[in-house]
Amino acid sequence: MGGFCCATAASMRLVLLVTCGAAMPVVMTSASAAASDPRDDAKAISKRAATEFKLAHFQAALDLYTQAYERFPAPALLFNLGQCNKNLGHYERALFFFQGYLRDKPDAPNRHAVETLMAESTKQLADERAAETAVQAEHRRLEELAAEKSAADARAAEERARPVLAAPVPSEPPPPPAEHRRPAWMIGGAATAGVGLVLLGTGLYFGIRSSSDASQLSRLGASGGTWNASDQSTYNSGQSAAHAATGLYVAGAVVFAGGATLALLGLEKHPDGSSVTAGVVPVPGGSSMFVAGRF
């Protein structure tokens, strides 16, 4: 009887140990789930992102807001992502996030402000694409000009290489080939170079504007001032001016180089039978000017 009681008591202790051991992972798992609430994680990360945004560290703010949205996809985070991308000059991505914000929150109280930001981003994106299109068009024009000149030189070389009937031996050496200029090249080159100077001058104006805005914001940062809406507008204006200046510098340099080359070649005297090829062609990272001749 005593042995049975001892065995029963031991069995009960074993059952209790097994039951407690099985219950512990459930309790620990519940505590772990409560400690890592996605909404709380997103709020904590968003606070850090807001601090970075106020300091104009827009790339750092963008990375943090992205992490917060991955934790908890709140619509307000889409608006913050759009703001960061707009300030970084990523206008197409900014429009994507602004549209997503209004789609997820159609009754947003700041809808008018968001639509204004979308209009600004659309205009800035159009300006960027227009500058890129102008540069590409000039590159194509110069390529076509070089190709046409090369084809004309090839045809002339073929004509000169054709066999001719025996000609009478001249009694005296032939006169030297006459030299002539190319007035069409001079006029076209000068006009093209003038357009390039206008583009460079316009780029210089936007560059000065961008530098002025950057200096103003640097003084604000050095004095420890608070970033406000006026400073944000100054920063946006400076970013737009910087992008416009870059595009105009590239376009102006390409156009001016091509025009100056054509004008110089037209100004020089060229003997009959000579062949000169010149142009500006795009290369990775910029453009290259070439001049080739055969005499």
Q: Is 60 exposed, middle or buried (0-12, 13-18, 19+ CB in 10 A)?
A: middle
CA–CA distances in Å: residue 274 to residues 150, 183, 188, 214: 13, 16, 21, 53
In this model, does residue 61 exceed pLDDT 90? yes
26 occurs within a structural domain: no
In this model, does residue 277 exceed pLDDT 90? no
Find the DSSP H helices in 36-110.
38-54, 58-71, 75-87, 91-104
233 occurs within a structural domain: yes
Decide: 291 and 261 in contact? Cβ < 8 Å.
yes
Domain harbouring 119, CATH code: 1.25.40.10
Give the Cα separation of 41 and 201 in Å (integer).
Answer: 51
101 occurs within a structural domain: yes
Output the pLDDT for position 237.
Answer: 79
Q: Which residues, at least 6 apart from 91, have a Cβ–Cβ distance to it below 8 Å?
A: 85, 121, 122, 124, 125, 128
CA–CA distances in Å: residue 103 to residues 66, 67, 82, 116: 18, 21, 13, 16
Output the pLDDT for position 227.
Answer: 67
User: How many domains is the chain partitioned into structurally?
Assistant: 2
Output the pLDDT for position 101.
Answer: 96
- Residue 276 has φ and ψ, to the nearest 5°, of -130, 135
* Segment 184-204 mean pLDDT: 79
**Among 128, 143, 164, residue at a domain's last position:** 128
In this model, does residue 82 exceed pLDDT 80? yes
The distance of Cα 190 from the centroid of its chain, to the nearest Å, equals: 32
41, 121: one domain: yes
255 occurs within a structural domain: yes
42, 122: one domain: yes
Confidence of residue 1 (pLDDT cuts 50, 70, 90): very low
Confidence of residue 3 (pLDDT cuts 50, 70, 90): very low
Output the pLDDT for position 74.
Answer: 94
At residue 16, what is the residue type?
L
Sign, CA torsion 214/220/226/231? negative
In this model, does residue 66 exceed pLDDT 80? yes
Output the pLDDT for position 279.
Answer: 57
40, 124: one domain: yes
Give the Cα separation of 39 and 170 in Å (integer).
Answer: 100
Output the pLDDT for position 87.
Answer: 97
111, 193: one domain: no
Span 148-161, pLDDT tens digits: 888 888 888 888 88
Domain extent, residue 224, equals 180-269
Decide: 81 and 97 in contact? Cβ < 8 Å.
yes
31 occurs within a structural domain: no
- Residue 287 has φ and ψ, to the nearest 5°, of -145, 165
Span 218-241, pLDDT tens digits: 776 777 667 677 777 877 777 787
Residue 73, classed as helix, strand or coil, is: coil
Output the pLDDT for position 280.
Answer: 54
274 occurs within a structural domain: no
Q: Which residues, at least 6 apart from 251, have a Cβ–Cβ distance to it below 8 Å?
A: 131, 134, 135, 138, 196, 199, 203
156 occurs within a structural domain: no
Output the pLDDT for position 272.
Answer: 53
Q: Which residues, at least 6 apart from 206, have a Cβ–Cβ distance to it below 8 Å?
A: 241, 242, 244, 245, 248
* Segment 103-117 mean pLDDT: 95
91 occurs within a structural domain: yes
